[in-house]
Amino acid sequence: MYPAKPTVATASEPVTGMAAPPVTGIPISSPGPAVAASQWSSGLCACFDDCGLCCMTCWCPCVTFGRIAEVVDRGATSCAAAGAIYTLLACFTGFQCHWIYSCTYRSKMRAQLGLPDVGCCDCCVHFCCEPCALCQQYRELRARGLDPALGWDVNAQKAANNNAGAGMTMYPPTAQGMGR
């Protein structure tokens, strides 16, 4: 009298005889490995731990910044290019806005290394004491085995030589452009 009820599969019963629907949509890559939180190896006001670096940063902050930027960008930005942009921003804005450019690299570095804020945002640190912030970043890279004075290529090569066969994760190669 009543028609038979169609068979409905539940979550515990797999549907047999039916093909799975095609996968559609945009693939979402899984986020990279979480960076373990760590602490800064030196304080913001520990500039005199390395007097040479302190002097270089006070008189030529573009050099210190350029070196940091090259390592943080993993060679995508050269020391000379980053230093030149920093210098041009400083000169054309009357030394008022160059810290905005450098604070972006502090944020990148903190994200890459899992470093905490030092009590205020990165822009505030660079605005209030640009030389101290640059010195702290430079010292942090050194403390983690990267020498900004050598540039990214030499640091990457040293890491590859030191870690050959050790199973450590290396940074991916940087994007290459066309050159003459």
DSSP structure string for 11-42:
TTS---S-PPPPP-S---PPPPPPPPP---SS
Predicted local distance difference test score (pLDDT) of residue 27: 44
Predicted local distance difference test score (pLDDT) of residue 25: 47
pTM for the predicted model, two decimal places = 0.70
Residues 50, 51, 55, 56: is their CA dihedral positive or negative? negative
Res. 64: pLDDT tops 80 = yes
Q: What is the mean pLDDT of residues 13-35?
A: 51
More confident residue, 73 or 14: 73
Res. 76: pLDDT tops 80 = yes
Decide if 42 is inside a domain.
Answer: no
DSSP type of residue 76: S
Res. 171: pLDDT tops 70 = no
3-state secondary structure of 167: coil
Contact 42, 139 (CB under 8 A): yes
Decide if 65 is inside a domain.
Answer: yes
Decide if 139 is inside a domain.
Answer: yes
- Residue 75, both tokens: 């060679």
Q: Name the residue range of residue 119's domain.
A: 47-158
Residue 80 to residue 60: CA distance in whole angstroms: 13
Contact 34, 27 (CB under 8 A): no
Please report, as a single letter, which amino acid is at residue 119: G
Of 114, 125, 136, nearest in space to 35 by CA: 114
Predicted local distance difference test score (pLDDT) of residue 33: 44
Decide if 10 is inside a domain.
Answer: no
State the chain's mean pLDDT as an integer.
Answer: 81
Decide if 2 is inside a domain.
Answer: no
136-153 residue pLDDT tens = 999 999 999 999 999 999
Decide if 104 is inside a domain.
Answer: yes
Number of domains observed in the structure of the chain = 1
Residue 85 to residue 150: CA distance in whole angstroms: 20
Decide if 74 is inside a domain.
Answer: yes
Q: What is the mean pLDDT of residues 73-95?
A: 93
Predicted local distance difference test score (pLDDT) of residue 18: 60
Residue 46 to residue 110: CA distance in whole angstroms: 18
3-state secondary structure of 4: coil
Decide if 179 is inside a domain.
Answer: no
